[in-house]
Chain A
Amino acid sequence: MNKCKSLYNKFRNPNLQYRYSHVFLIYIFLFVFIVVMSIANEYFRDANNFRNIMDSSFPLMMAAFGQMIVILTGGIDLSIGGMITLANCLSVTIMTQMEGVGGALFAILATIVACSLCGAINGLFITKGRLPAIIVTIATEIIFNGIALFLMPAPGGAVNKEFAKFIGARYLGLPVSFFIMIILVILVRILTNRMPYGRALRAVGGNESAAYSTGISVWKVKFKAYVLAGFFCAIGGIYLSARMYSADPQIGTTYSMNSITASVVGGTLMTGAIGDVLGTVVGVFIIFIIYNVLNLLGVSSYYQYIAQGIILIFALIISSFESRHR
C-alpha cells in the first residue's frame, strides 16, 4: 500500500510531469486504442497483424529517431526520405553486384557510411554554411533522390538471400525488427538522457547562446545530430531492402513528413530541447496502427495521405496547447 502511495506521489512530481506527461498520456492512448481496436475487429487482434505492424513500421521508426535527434537541437531535416531511398537503392545495388554474405556485409557498411556522409553534408551547409535548415534539406533531398534514381532507374535489384532471411526471421514469435528496435531504443535513450552529448543536444535546442556560453561547441552538436540522422536512415533503408527484396527509387517520399509527425505525436517539441525516444516509438506505432485500421476497414490507401496530414496538424495543435499550459 505504501509502495503504491510513494509511486503515486512520485507520479505527481511536477518535474516528472513536465518531462513525461505527454509520453505517459500517449502510452495510455495507444493502449486504449489497441484494446478498443482488438475488441472491434477480429483481424486486428491477430498476432500476425501485430508482427506486420512491427515490421512495416520499423523503417519509419528509424527515420523518426534520426528526425527526433535533429529536432532536439532545434533543427529540422526534410531530406530523411531521400536518405532512406538512397540507402535502399545503394544497398541493393551493391548486393546485386556482390554476391554472398560478404556482399551483404559490405553493402551494409557502405550504406551506413554513405548516408552518414549525406547527413554530414546537411550538417555542414546548415552549421558552417549558416543556411536555413528547411531549404537546405529540401534541396539535399532532391539530390539524394537523384543519386538513388541514378543507381536504380527502375524498381528491381536483388538482395542476398541469407541477409533477407535473417531480417525476416522470427525468434520467440517476435520479428527481428522488434529486437533491433529494443536495442536501438535503449541506445538512443542512453545517448539523449544519460550522456553529455544528450545534454548538449537539449541545451542547444533550448537556448543556443546560453549553451555556447557554457563552452559547448554548438556547431559540432548540430553537425553530429544531422550525421546521426543519416545513420538511422541507413539502417531504415537497409531494412527496407531486406523486407522488400528489392529497391524502389520512389520509396522514401512520405518519410520526411511522417518522421516529423511521429516525433511530434511522441512529444517532441518543434522548438527543441524536449522529446523522448520512448514517445517517438509510440508516435510511430500510432501512425501505423491507424494505417492498419484503415486497411482493415477496407478504406482505400489514398486516405493514408489525408490521415498523415491530419495526425500531424492535430499533434501540433495539442503540442501548442501543452506548451501554453506549461
Chain B
Amino acid sequence: MPECILKMEHITKEFSGIKALDDVSLECEKGQVNVLAGENGAGKSTILKILSGIYQPDGGTITLRGEKVCFKTPLSAQHAGIAMVFQELTLINQLTIAENIFLGQEQKKNGLIDKLEQKQRLLSCMDEYGICMDPDTIVDRLSVAEKQLVEILKILIRDPEIIILDEPTSSLAKSEVKILFDIIRKLKATGKAIIFISHRMEEMFEIGDKFTVFKDGRFICLCDRSEIDTNILISLMVGRTLQNIFPPRLEGKHDVPVFEVKGLKFAHNGKPIDFCIRRGEILGIAGLQGHGQTELLNALSGLQHIYSGDIYINGKKSVIKNCRQAVANGVALIPCDRKQEGLLLQQSIRFNTALASMKDRKKLGCFIDKRAEKTMIEEYRTKLNIKMANAEQEVRELSGGNQQKVVLGKELAIKPKVLLFNEPTRGIDVEAKREFYYIMHDLAQQGVAIIMCSNDLMEVIGMSSRVLVMYEKNVTAILDGELINEEDIMRCAMGLDIRKGRCDI
C-alpha cells in the first residue's frame, strides 16, 4: 500500500481579488508519479509555488508525513525535503556544472572549496541516474536540454523526498525525454514521491501513476492511471459553456486574402508555415504556452528574424526585416506584455498613443501638431471607450483594460492593414474584455486582417473565424467551422491529432 507522504487540502489562494485556487487538493505517495494536468491558468503553477514555499496559502492545510506544516520561505520547504525544478532556468551561465550545483552549499575543507570531493559526489550522483556529463563543463556551452538536466541534478544531489517537475520536457527531444524518464523511474524505485506537470499526452500516460486534474483554479478529480485515458482526460480539462460576451462569429470573404504567409520559417529548425487571412475574418492562434506563438507574431512584426518565406499584404509582397519596416507596411503588434513592451509607463496617455504615428502629424516638418494629436486621442477615446482623466494622465495609473486600449489606440493610429494581438485580454476585467471583442469584430469587418493569439481557449473559440493551432513551434492544424471546439483544439495543441480544416490557399 503506497504511503501518502504529502496531502494538501482545501487550499485557496487569491491575487488581487481574483481566486487563483479555490478549495483544491493535491497529494502524492511515495514511489509514485502524480501527473498534475490542466490548461494554462488552471492553477498548477500556483499550487506548486505554495508547496515550495514561494507563496503562502490563504486557506487550507498542508500535511507532510502526518504533520501539519507551513512553509514560509523556499528554504524551509527545501529543508523539509521538497525540491522543485522550475520551468525558468536558475543557472549561472558563466560557472561550471559542478559550481552551479554546489552553489550556496559548497563542500569545504579548511575553509577552501573541496573541488575533488564535489566532483566525486557529483559523478557518483550522475552514475546513479545514468547521466553522462563532464562536471567541469561551463553551463553556457550546454544545450537547453542539458541545462535542464543540470537543474534536475541540482535537486537530486540534495536527496529530497518529494520532487516537483514543472514541465521538464518542454525543451527536450524524445531521446532526452527517455533519459529523464529513466531517472524518474529510478527515483520511484527508491521511494521518492514525484509531482509531474506536462502537456504532452504521450508522456503523461507513459510515466504517470495517478492523475490530478485542475480546471479554472478548481480541483476536478484524482484518478488512477487505470481509470483514465486521453479522451477522458481532455474532457475533464475542458468542457465549459461559452459565455455570452462574444460578438457573432465572422465569416471570411473568399476573395484575395488580406494577409498571406507562405513558407515562413522563424526558427532554425522549424517547419515552414503557410496560412492566409481573408477579408472580414479573425484568425485565432491557439496552443499551449511557449509553443512558438509569440515567436511567430514577433517574426511577422519584424522583431524576430525570418529565416525564409514570404509575406503578402493585400496581394503585394512585403519585406519585413525590422520593426520600422513592419510599421511602414502597416503591420502592427499588440504585444503580450504591455507593461514591458507596449507602453512607456511613466509617460502620458497622449505620449503613448501618439508614439507610433508621430510622423503623420508633423507641423513645419519636425514639430508636434498638438491639435491633430488631440483630435486623434479624442477619436480613439470615444471609439475604444478609454476611461481616463485627461490626455496628460500617466499611463501607469490606468487600469489594465484601459492600458491595453491605449496600446491598441497607438497601433490603430498608424492605420494598420494587419493587427497582431498577443494575449489581447490578459489581466483585463470582463467588461473591458467584452468591449475589446466588439472592437476587434468591427475592425475585422472594416477589412483589417486580425490575428489573435491567446492562451484562453474560450476566447479563441468565441472570436475566431478560423483557428491555427501550434505545437512545438509548428502549425499542427488550421481548424474552422464545427472543428472549432475545446476538445479538438486541445487535441491538436497536445500533438495528438493532426487534422487540417478547410483552408483554400
Chain A interfacial positions (CB closer than 8 Å to B): 14-15, 18-19, 190, 194-196, 199-200, 202-203, 205-207, 209-211, 213-216, 273-274, 326
Contact = CB atoms under 8 A, between A and B. Distances in A.
Given A194-B112, A199-B113, A15 B95 contact: no
B127 interface: no
Contacts of A195: 111-113
Contact of A15 (B90, B93, B106, B136): B136
B324 interface: no
A196 B113 contact: yes
A203 B141 contact: no
Contacts of B111: 195
Interface string B183-204: 0000000000000000000000
B151 to A, nearest CB: 10
7 contacts: A15-B136, A18-B138, A19-B138, A195-B111, A199-B113, A207-B93, A216-B104
Name the residue in B94, B134, B138 with the highest tally of chain A Cβ atoms < 10 Å from its Cβ. Answer: B94
B contacts with A: majority SS: loop
Contact of A14 (B91, B106, B141): B141
Given A214-B90, A214-B104, A190 B95 contact: no
Contact of B103 (A15, A18, A190, A216): A216
A contacts with B: majority SS: helix
B99 interface: yes
B160 interface: no
B92 A203 contact: yes
B106 A199 contact: yes
Contacts of B140: 18, 326
Given A18-B140, A196-B108, A207-B93, 16 more contacts: A14-B138, A18-B138, A190-B112, A199-B106, A202-B92, A202-B94, A207-B91, A210-B90, A211-B92, A211-B103, A215-B75, A215-B104, A215-B105, A216-B103, A273-B92, A274-B94
B112 A206 contact: no
Contacts of A14: 138, 141
A172 B105 CA distance: 44
B96 interface: yes
A299 to B, nearest CB: 39
Contacts of A207: 90-93
A202 B138 contact: no
Given A195-B111, A196-B108, A206 B141 contact: no
A-B pairs, 8 with minimum CB distance: A206-B92, A273-B94, A214-B104, A210-B90, A215-B104, A196-B106, A206-B94, A194-B112
B74 interface: yes
A206 B75 contact: no
A268 to B, nearest CB: 12
A190 B108 CA distance: 13
B158 to A, nearest CB: 12
Contacts of B93: 206-207, 273
B137 interface: yes
A326 B94 CA distance: 11
A64 B38 CA distance: 55
Name the residue in A205, A213, A216 with the highest tally of chain B Cβ atoms < 10 Å from its Cβ. Answer: A213
Contacts of A190: 112
A273 B139 CA distance: 13
Given A14-B141, A206-B92, A273-B94, A214 B113 contact: no
A14 to B, nearest CB: 7
A234 to B, nearest CB: 24
A211 B103 CA distance: 8
Contacts of B90: 207, 209-210, 213-214
A207 B92 CA distance: 6
A2 to B, nearest CB: 22
A194 B105 CA distance: 14
Nearest to A214: B104
Given A210-B92, A216-B104, A199 B141 contact: no
Contact of A214 (B94, B96, B103): B103
Nearest to A203: B92
B120 to A, nearest CB: 17
Contacts of B74: 213
Contacts of B137: 15
A190 B111 CA distance: 10
B104 A202 contact: no
A326 B139 CA distance: 12
Contacts of A15: 96, 134, 136-138, 141
